[in-house]
């Protein structure tokens, strides 16, 4: 077929007599119903929307490039590959079989049905695609399944090719990512499909997808199992109607889980196997980023939102969400929960975080930072990170000024750094010196507020904690900690490790724990201080 030129499909009548070698399907002709033709139109439209082919229904009485008919001869359905013969590109369904009832019956739902998936599959053959498991070049087993291609005979990865085990309404609702990629490799991509600023929304009760308010059809059951191809514009996945925990990854070839840890709306591929995602992101055509989905909005659950290389706008909504913009100057909007922004230095640089509050945290992946490498400007709300200590900011993040009155705290765990704000912003006292560095690992410095605080170091941390005024209760961890109570009667517990405990003024209780600990008394200590 010719890219850009008009390619026509149509429906033959009983008198159609193309010379089919050996099969002679027209001899046992069965006509499609009006509802069946509606299903075929939707399937042809799906292929046309992904490629530069212009696939159009032919006028009655003309001779189309692709004929679609019914016959009692096929066991299921088959199609002829493109070619120069009269039968090339033609498709025949075994319409006397009960599993094709929707193609001969009256109107009803078809999204997610075997009939619609088979229509997509057979049109793929007519346009030139083969089965992934056949031929000298086979698709890798890790991708040979309906989650990746409607051309696959396997219901799930590693499944049999002899029969489908899919639940009635759990077949693909669209072309899947490898179908789109393969047909575009042959004919090119259609970037006019949904080329405006499209908002994709999904109904938690029905599985219906709408595109800026226009329905893509209601599935026969509450399932979501599709891939999105979008030709351009600044687009949004809007999942604000969901109360389940979501995992959204906008990167090409990744996907969206609408019910993390659950089965709501999930396609059932066998009696025990379900699809990994509900929505799949299409691959880029020749690296063209126009097909990226730029933005996503979460719901009221504890969501994970991951951006791609575009300038993403990610909105967590309610719940305790985790957001990562990835490369690009992203805008991350936190909600009412205890939220986390977690990304690499490169991913964070240039990002804007709105609604960053004292209960939220920022995790810098893959780098161990000391407090001196992180600075916060309370006037313009910029957080700067110098990841290698050369005095130059490697990441500048706009977090706003809602935390301007709180003390900046930096801790390290598992090779990543956590930045939080708590207590009251204050200069550290000149107090303790000679603190241990935990055998070369970074010591986290924490300054508490001037009130009464309770602080416990995370497992494995080495911390230096300044209590300031107030009756503080400070607990170290297994690292080599330095705990400084300062004024008032404090309770210090070093835990494991070789710790330094400094009570400061008033009647303090110091407990060293396991390890070689040092207790330092100042001139302001009261005689009633207790060593445990």
Q: List residues with catalytic annotation.
A: 122
Which bin fits 194, alpha (ψ -120 to 50), beta or left (φ > 0)?
left
Supply the angle between the helices 177-187 and 34-50 in degrees, to the nearest 10: 70
List the beta strands (DSSP E) in 135-290. Answer: 199-202, 209-211, 214-215, 226-228, 236-238, 247-249, 255-257, 279-281
Instruction: Compute CA distances 138 → 132, 134, 232, 376, 474, whole Å.
Output: 6, 6, 32, 54, 61
Parallel/antiparallel/unpaired status of strands 199-202 and 209-211: antiparallel
54-59 contacts at long range (C-beta below 8 A, 24 or more positions apart): 54/4, 54/5, 54/6, 54/7, 55/7, 55/8, 55/9, 56/6, 56/7, 56/8, 56/9, 57/8, 57/9, 57/10, 58/8, 58/9, 58/10
Planar angle of CA 411, 380, 310, nearest 5 degrees: 75
Q: Which of 316, 277, 270, 278 is nearest to 295 (CA)?
A: 316
Secondary structure letter of residue 108 according to DSSP:
-
Secondary structure letter of residue 289 according to DSSP:
G
What is the distance between the alpha carbons of residues 87 and 67, in angstroms, rounded to a whole number? Answer: 8
Alpha helices in 145-260 (DSSP H): 177-187
Secondary structure letter of residue 49 according to DSSP:
H
Which residues are registered as beta bridge partners of 475? 456, 493
Contact 369, 410 (CB under 8 A): yes
* 3 state SS of 255: strand
List the beta strands (DSSP E) in 183-289. Answer: 199-202, 209-211, 214-215, 226-228, 236-238, 247-249, 255-257, 279-281
Neighbours of 368 (CB within 10 A): 18
Helix (H) or strand (E) holding 502: strand 500-502
Contact 93, 118 (CB under 8 A): yes
Parallel/antiparallel/unpaired status of strands 361-364 and 416-422: antiparallel
Neighbours of 25 (CB within 10 A): 24
* 3 state SS of 41: helix
Residue identified by tokens 């929960």 is: 337
Which residues are registered as beta bridge partners of 200? 211, 237
Q: Which of 71, 82, 88 is nearest to 21 (CA)?
A: 88
Contact 250, 281 (CB under 8 A): yes
């Amino acid at each position: 077929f010719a890219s850009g030129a008009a390619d026509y499909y149509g429906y033959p009548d009983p008198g159609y007599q193309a010379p089919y070698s050996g099969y002679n399907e027209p001899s046992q002709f069965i006509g499609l119903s009006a509802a069946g033709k509606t299903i075929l139109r939707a399937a042809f439209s799906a292929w046309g929307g992904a490629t530069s082919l212009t696939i159009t229904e032919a006028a009655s009485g003309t001779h189309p490039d692709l004929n679609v008919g019914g016959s009692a001869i096929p066991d299921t359905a088959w199609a002829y590959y493109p070619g120069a013969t009269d039968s090339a590109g033609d498709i025949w369904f075994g319409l006397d079989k009960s599993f094709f009832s929707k193609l001969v019956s009256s109107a009803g739902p078809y999204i997610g049905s075997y009939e619609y998936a088979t229509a997509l599959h057979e049109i793929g053959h007519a346009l030139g695609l083969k089965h992934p498991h056949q031929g000298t070049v086979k698709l890798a087993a890790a991708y040979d399944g309906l989650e990746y291609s409607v051309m696959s005979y396997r219901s799930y990865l590693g499944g049999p090719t002899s029969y489908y085990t899919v639940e009635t309404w759990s077949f693909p609702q669209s072309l899947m990512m490898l179908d789109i990629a393969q047909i575009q490799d042959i004919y090119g991509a259609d970037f006019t499909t949904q080329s405006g600023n499209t908002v994709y929304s999904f109904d938690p009760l029905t599985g219906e997808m709408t595109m800026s308010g226009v329905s893509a059809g209601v599935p026969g059951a509450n399932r979501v199992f599709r891939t999105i191809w979008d030709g351009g514009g600044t687009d949004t996945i809007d999942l604000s109607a969901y109360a389940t925990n979501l995992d959204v990854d906008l990167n090409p070839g990744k996907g969206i889980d609408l019910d993390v840890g659950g089965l709501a709306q999930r396609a059932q591929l066998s009696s025990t196997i379900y699809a990994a995602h509900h929505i799949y992101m299409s691959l880029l055509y020749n690296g063209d980023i126009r097909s990226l989905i730029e933005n996503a909005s979460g719901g009221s659950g504890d969501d994970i939102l991951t951006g791609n290389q575009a300038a993403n706008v990610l909105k967590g909504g309610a719940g305790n969400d985790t957001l990562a913009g990835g490369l690009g100057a992203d805008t991350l909007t936190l909600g009412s929960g205890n939220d986390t922004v977690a990304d690499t230095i490169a991913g964070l640089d240039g990002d804007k975080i709105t609604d960053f509050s004292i209960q939220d945290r920022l995790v810098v992946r893959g780098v161990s930072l000391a407090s001196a490498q992180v600075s916060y400007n309370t006037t313009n709300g910029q957080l700067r990170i110098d990841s290698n200590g050369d005095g130059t900011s490697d990441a500048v993040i706009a977090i706003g000024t809602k935390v301007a009155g709180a003390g900046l705290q930096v801790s390290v765990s598992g090779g990543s750094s956590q930045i939080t704000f708590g207590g009251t912003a204050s200069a550290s006292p000149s107090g303790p010196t000679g603190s241990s560095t935990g055998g070369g690992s970074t010591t986290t410095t924490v300054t508490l507020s001037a009130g009464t605080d309770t602080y416990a170091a995370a497992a494995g941390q080495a911390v230096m904690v300044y209590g300031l005024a107030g009756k503080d209760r400070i607990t170290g961890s297994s690292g080599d900690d330095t705990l400084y109570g300062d004024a008032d009667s404090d309770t210090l517990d070093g835990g494991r490790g070789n710790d330094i405990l400094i009570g400061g003024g008033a009647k303090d209780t110091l407990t060293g724990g396991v390890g070689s600990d040092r207790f330092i008394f100042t001139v302001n200590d009261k005689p009633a201080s207790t060593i445990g």
